[in-house]
Amino acid sequence: MNRFPLLSKTAIIGFLMVLLLIPLSMVREVIAERTQNREQATHEVARAHAGEQTLTGPVLQVPYTETYIRTVIVDVARNTQREETVKESHVATVFPTTLDTRSRLTTETRWRGIFPVTVYNSRHDSAGRFVWKGVTPREKGGQITLGQPWLSFGVSDLRGLLGRPELKLGGHALAIAASPAGAHLPLPLAAPLDATLLQPGATLDFTLGMDLAGTERIGFVPLADDNKVTLTSPWPHPSFDGDFLPRSRAVTAQGFEASWSVPSLSTQAQQQFLNEAKDRPPVDSFSVSLDDPVDVYRLTERATKYGLMFIVLTFAAFFVLEMVKRWRIHPMQYLMIGAALVLFFLLLLSLSEHLDFRIAYLVASAGCIALLAHYLRHVLGGWRAGLGMGGMLVALYGVLYGILISEDNALMMGSLLLFGVLAAIMVATRKIDWYNVMGSGVSAADPTVSTSRA
């Protein structure tokens, strides 16, 4: 080992970096645990308040009976037949030709321990039209008898209803009750109609208003032939999800307004709704999530992904300066410096749960940089060297923060950082005699050393 001091020091530093992966992985486990606790807190608030909401309908559902005469062969050999009367029950589903919904949403923050959960109250006013074209018999000569028609609609979590919905047909209020047995699950509410209104070609204009509470997300299913939704809210950080993005949106610090326009030709929601198979795909929908723009657990978890790079770059800087400046840094001192770098991520996690993420990052990084600068002042024999290394750490933490807040540019910034570090190392070590440093006893300029083989 003494014959090759550079190799032995490199091996020891490499071992220390691998060793520091253990506490770094423990920090990641803590982040995962806190993330699960936050999700559990969200579920607890949703269970007590109301969960995510998706508005579906209304649709017109008309039970009917078809009666027809069927010929049945009694004896094939004698060619004897008889006729029997058959009655079959079906449900005709009619979707609105137009549905225009105006929604307003306000938010508030509920706390479960130290975990904030965003809940909302919303008001929805819809207007639309049905056109009844009648029912075509499935069998030749079939007679149709209509049953009790229903206007059915629903929300994901009925606990979120803040009052009885107001459903009117032709200006007349309808009594809302639970949907009849056998109705589609997304439509738990329904109002009976007068069957005499269902004349072929009849138009049925309706309005629907409801106050609805929920947690973190609200969505809409476009079941009409022409769907229009306008949603306004003072929430300044919406995230638009689902199968359709808004046709227009305006997001400011005072809130947002978004409008969707979805024709039935661009969605399979009607066909998916009518598919009663158990493995039917989810119905097309669009939604708005009220996400926290600064998810401290996601940002901290992303930061730990650069933890090893932090350690490698810092150790590489010290190692290069050992050779250039002739400093002597003991492996134990490398280990303590690495421990301080790992502790930064735990400090960042714990502080960001109580402070704004920017402030938490500033406090955690300033504390670690101050500790390391003070420690390196004694290790390197003066404030000048300690402050110089502290300045390098300031730049390193600054680049990391830039990567965290600019996810789209993370790869570019990380690549530029690594390129810059490599360039600095190559410039700083360009005059080093590696043969002498490696302990081989020969110089790169020694003419007796051949660089090729005969």
User: Which residues pair with residue 100 across a beta bridge?
Assistant: 127, 228
Q: What is the pLDDT of residues 91-138, one digit of tens each?
A: 899 999 999 999 999 999 888 888 888 999 999 999 999 999 988 888
CA 428 vs. chain centroid, Å, equals: 44
For the beta carbon of residue 358, count every other beta carbon within 10 angstroms. 12
Instruction: Provide mean pLDDT across the span 389-401.
Output: 85
Residue 59 has pLDDT above 90, yes or no: yes
Single-letter residue type at 143 = Q
Instruction: Provide mean pLDDT across the span 163-173.
Output: 92
Q: Is the peptide bond before 263 cis (omega within 30 degrees of 0)?
A: no
Burial (CB < 10 A; 0-12, 13-18, 19+), residue 240, is middle
* Nearest Cα residue to 269 out of 126, 97, 95: 95
Residue 453 has pLDDT above 60, yes or no: no
Angle between helices 410-428 and 383-405 (to 10 degrees): 160
State the pairing for strand pair 166-169/202-215: antiparallel
pTM above 0.85, yes or no: no
SS3 15: helix
**What are phi and psi for residue 75, nearest 5 degrees?**
-135, 115
Which domains, ranges and CATH numbers included, belong to the chain? 5-38+296-437 (no CATH), 52-289 (2.60.40)
pLDDT of residue 407: 64
Helix, strand, coil share (%) of the chain residues, nearest 5: 40, 30, 30
For the beta carbon of residue 273, count every other beta carbon within 10 angstroms. 21
The C-alpha atoms of residue 38 and residue 111 are separated, in whole angstroms, by: 10
The C-alpha atoms of residue 259 and residue 276 are separated, in whole angstroms, by: 31
* Residue that has been written with the tokens 């029997």 in this structure: 84
Burial (CB < 10 A; 0-12, 13-18, 19+), residue 182, is exposed
The C-alpha atoms of residue 221 and residue 283 are separated, in whole angstroms, by: 7
**What are phi and psi for residue 146, nearest 5 degrees?**
-80, 145
∠348-404-424 over CA atoms, to 5°?
100
pLDDT of residue 94: 94
pLDDT of residue 436: 66
Residue 219 · residue 285 · CB < 8 Å? yes
Contacts of residue 447, Cβ cutoff 8 Å, sequence gap at least 6: none
* Structure tokens belonging to residue 235: 């929430």
* Structure tokens belonging to residue 107: 């938010």
Q: What is the pLDDT of residues 397-445, one digit of tens each?
A: 888 888 887 766 767 777 777 787 778 777 777 776 666 655 544 444 4
CA dihedral 29, 35, 38, 44 (to 10 degrees): -90
Least confident of 45-54, 177-186, 219-228: 177-186
pLDDT of residue 286: 96
Instruction: Provide mean pLDDT across the span 317-322.
Output: 78
